[in-house]
Structure 1
Amino acid sequence: MDDLRDLSDHRNGEPADETELAIDGALRPTSLAEFVGQQKVRGQLQLLLDAARIQQRSPDHILLSGPPGLGKTTLAMIVAHESGRPLRLSSGPAIQHAGDLAALLSSLTPGEVLFIDEVHRMARAAEEMLYLAMEDFRIDIMVGKGAGATSIPLDLAPFTLVGATTRSGLLPNPLRDRFGFTAHLEYYDPAELEQVIERSAVMLGVTLPSAARGEIARRSRGTPRIANRLLRRVRDYVIVHGGAEGEADIATVGAALDLYDVDAIGLDRLDRSVLEALVRRFRGGPVGLNTLAVTVGEESETIESVVEPYLVRIGFMGRTPRGRIATPEAYAHLRIPHAEDALRLDDL
């Protein structure tokens, strides 16, 4: 969590940790009506929650898929809030044994909402236990080993599982089929991000004209989490450079984000390093993912999950059977002659 200070407390020289914690919570919408974007998913979720409320039952299990930062965790919190149920948070990497899942499920209260982030990263044994739990609200506990092992059934309180995944293709079909509702979250368009930024700016005490909100939105890669993070950096810049009443015009926004190496379309240092390596070192490719990762000094998983999706989405990188390639648009953005032109220049 960012270590920030409120404008008023900063000027008084007093820490604002509690204030910042409150703001962090306030930045998350607490109802579907407050949630910006994902209109189709919101409508589907609203129907599911309303039907469960009318029938006085727990909502069906929900699977939320999509890239990081689009609001999967926030939607899980909203499901619990609008259902009037408590929320339990966990994550796939933390559930590495069937016993871990058994302990978690057996401690749930009736109607509780269980949110498992990165559900595709659960251990296979835990996944298999979850099948029965989701369908029949029951698990089988194995006692003993070998020929003397005994299965003891354990009934569970009815619960709603909200699973979140950035890679739904890695979920086994038996697990995916047990979710009553599956939603895929899409990237936000700039107009939607401006609404997110406008709301967050009020919470953070920053005054932003329309042009400044648009500039942050353009650099946010279609992701609300990034938009809020960039807005915080703009607020820091205003605090340090003494902006009047926390006001940040488009020039201030540009200066702040340029300082943090976020360019006009949202590329950061790592994005540009990958593109420049692909263009300069490998003449536009094709090049393997591992080779590219070693060249820029990052893990291949980071390149594949963090950098590559955005570069592919904006048309700067292509994925082929032989490896990654740079497109003419990438050359143009970096202001580097296209590969064929560069080869001719080398011969001069």
Structure 2
Amino acid sequence: MSDSLRLVDGASDEEERAAELALRPKSLDEFIGQERVRDQLGLVLDAAKGRGRPADHILLSGGPGLGKTTLAMIVAAEMEAPLRISSGPAITHAGDLAAVLSSLAEGEVLFLDEVHRMARPAEEMLYMAMEDFRVDVVVGKGPGATAIPLDLPHFTLIGATTRAGLLPAPLRDRFGFTAHMDLYEPAELERVLARSARLLGIDLRKDGGREVALRSRGTPRIANRLLRRVRDFAEVRAKGVVTGPVAAAALEIYEVDALGLDRLDRAVLTALVKLFGGGPVGLSTLAVAVGEEAETVEVVAEPFLVRAGLLARTPRGRIATPAAWAHLGLAPPGADRVTGAMTLPLDED
């Protein structure tokens, strides 16, 4: 895993994806969690197979590490169709998309990760491809340019996005099935970890799985990543047995605390509480206090802190909630003031 990737980051790099490959479930029956999405998707696929037709286009939204790529692979496997994988950022021109679409086979599944980051010309071409299975390829430039219609085989597009709100309505409306993937409950992550431990040959005790699950920020990818680090610790210092105390000791070394906060998360909370009295304080000022770029604090640390109820964003700036003070073992100097500030509408700054 590269140094730039945090242990509790939902994103993954090439090394991480290689490690995940052996742990990916191969069917809907093996997929743990997301029961509502799993049941709905199963109906969509069974109906398509019954009609002998490719499945409708599918949009999967949710945070990184929740299983969107895994579900795309499962859809292709369930439909017994080949899978083509690409991403929105990789398609920078309409010609890039035309080349991909024209090479698809009948019934093939095309998975586009981060579909909201596709270039606008390619996005507009995708509208027609999804609806009419046809694209117009423009040959030449200026007044002499000619549009050549190109018929496409029937295919299934699976789009994945971490920011569904950035998808334009015309694109969103062309997906026949849309599913939002939620964060996992600790009990679901315990089941994910138990399965991963069996596949990796790890002696994971129930209390060990619970300890790792509680620190995994509701994300299977993070849970599996922490499990591998805990395994390393257990093999060196605990005869390979992962119990609750062993998992806690291992994750203490890796600076992942009981709520799943890492060094950056705690630095933000500590600065907010100890340097600024719990706020409110502006994003730029807070970023300078922790020695990070403002974008890093806003994009990397804040989403989980807000979701965990430890930080709130108000028009006057960032504030620490009573839960943040409690997590740091401190008493808020003015609980009424902090609570009152929390009732203000949240901003997007």
Is 1:174 matched up with 2:150? no
Partner of 1:314: 308
Give how far 1:36 is off: 0.6
Q: 2:151 aligned to 148, 155, 178, which one?
A: 155
Structure 2 counterparts to residues 240-251 of structure 1, below 5 A: 240-241=236-237, 243-244=238-239, 246-251=240-245
What CA distance in whole angstroms lies between the structure 1 residues aligned with 2:131 and 2:171?
Answer: 10
Give how far 1:21 is off: 8.9
Partner of 2:98: 102
Partner of 2:289: 295
Partner of 2:276: 282
Q: 2:196 aligned to 200, 219, 226, which one?
A: 200
Report the residue type matching 1:198 in the other structure. Answer: A
What CA distance in whole angstroms lies between the structure 2 residues aligned with 1:288 and 1:114?
Answer: 43
What CA distance in whole angstroms lies between the structure 2 residues aligned with 1:160 and 1:166?
Answer: 20
Report the residue type matching 1:174 in the other structure. Answer: P
What CA distance in whole angstroms lies between the structure 1 residues aligned with 2:210 and 2:172?
Answer: 38
Root-mean-square deviation (CA, aligned residues, Å) is 2.1
Structure 2 counterparts to residues 1-348 of structure 1, below 5 A: 24-241=20-237, 243-244=238-239, 246-340=240-334
TM-score normalized by the length of structure 2: 0.88
TM-aligned CA distance change 1:128 to 1:287, over 3 Å: farther
TM-aligned CA distance change 1:301 to 1:43, over 3 Å: farther
Report the residue type matching 2:265 in the other structure. Answer: D
What CA distance in whole angstroms lies between the structure 2 residues aligned with 1:234 and 1:203?
Answer: 15
TM-superposition CA deviations, 1:189-221 (whole Å, max 9, x none): 111000000000111111111111111111111
Whether contact under 8 Å (1:23, 1:203) holds in the other structure is: no
TM-score normalized by the length of structure 1: 0.88
Report the residue type matching 2:59 in the other structure. Answer: L
Give how far 1:125 is off: 1.2
What CA distance in whole angstroms lies between the structure 2 residues aligned with 1:50 and 1:208?
Answer: 36
Stretch of structure 1 that moved more, 232-241 or 45-54 = 232-241
What CA distance in whole angstroms lies between the structure 1 residues aligned with 2:127 and 2:80?
Answer: 25
Whether contact under 8 Å (1:279, 1:339) holds in the other structure is: no
SS at 2:47's partner residue? helix
What CA distance in whole angstroms lies between the structure 1 residues aligned with 2:209 and 2:246?
Answer: 11
Report the residue type matching 2:67 in the other structure. Answer: G
Stretch of structure 1 that moved more, 148-157 or 160-169 = 148-157
Stretch of structure 1 that moved more, 269-278 or 77-86 = 269-278
SS at 1:133's partner residue? helix
Structure 1 unmatched runs, 5+: 4-19, 342-348
Give how far 1:105 is off: 1.2
What CA distance in whole angstroms lies between the structure 1 residues aligned with 2:110 and 2:103?
Answer: 11
SS at 2:84's partner residue? strand
TM-superposition CA deviations, 1:93-115 (whole Å, max 9, x none): 11111111111111111111111
How many correspondences in the alignment?
A: 324
TM-aligned CA distance change 1:189 to 1:157, over 3 Å: same
What CA distance in whole angstroms lies between the structure 1 residues aligned with 2:18 and 2:198?
Answer: 14
Report the residue type matching 2:192 in the other structure. Answer: V
Report the residue type matching 1:128 in the other structure. Answer: E
Report the residue type matching 2:185 in the other structure. Answer: D
Stretch of structure 1 that moved more, 35-44 or 202-211 = 202-211
What CA distance in whole angstroms lies between the structure 2 residues aligned with 1:114 and 1:288?
Answer: 43
What CA distance in whole angstroms lies between the structure 1 residues aligned with 2:254 and 2:187?
Answer: 23
Give how far 1:322 is off: 2.8
Whether contact under 8 Å (2:235, 2:241) holds in the other structure is: no
Give how far 1:22 is off: 8.2
What CA distance in whole angstroms lies between the structure 1 residues aligned with 2:282 and 2:55?
Answer: 45
What CA distance in whole angstroms lies between the structure 2 residues aligned with 1:330 and 1:113?
Answer: 45
Give how far 1:156 is off: 1.3
TM-aligned CA distance change 1:149 to 1:290, over 3 Å: farther
Whether contact under 8 Å (2:135, 2:152) holds in the other structure is: yes
Report the residue type matching 1:29 in the other structure. Answer: P
TM-superposition CA deviations, 1:128-175 (whole Å, max 9, x none): 111111111111111222222221111111111111111100000000
TM-aligned CA distance change 1:154 to 1:293, over 3 Å: farther
Stretch of structure 1 that moved more, 271-280 or 167-176 = 271-280
TM-aligned CA distance change 1:180 to 1:301, over 3 Å: farther
TM-aligned CA distance change 1:164 to 1:21, over 3 Å: closer
Give how far 1:329 is off: 0.8
Aligned-pair identity in percent equals 68
Give how far 1:43 is off: 0.3
TM-superposition CA deviations, 1:229-273 (whole Å, max 9, x none): 0000011112222x43x3111121111100000001111111111
SS at 2:204's partner residue? coil
Stretch of structure 1 that moved more, 86-95 or 33-42 = 86-95
Report the residue type matching 1:240 in the other structure. Answer: V
What CA distance in whole angstroms lies between the structure 2 residues aligned with 1:77 and 1:162?
Answer: 10
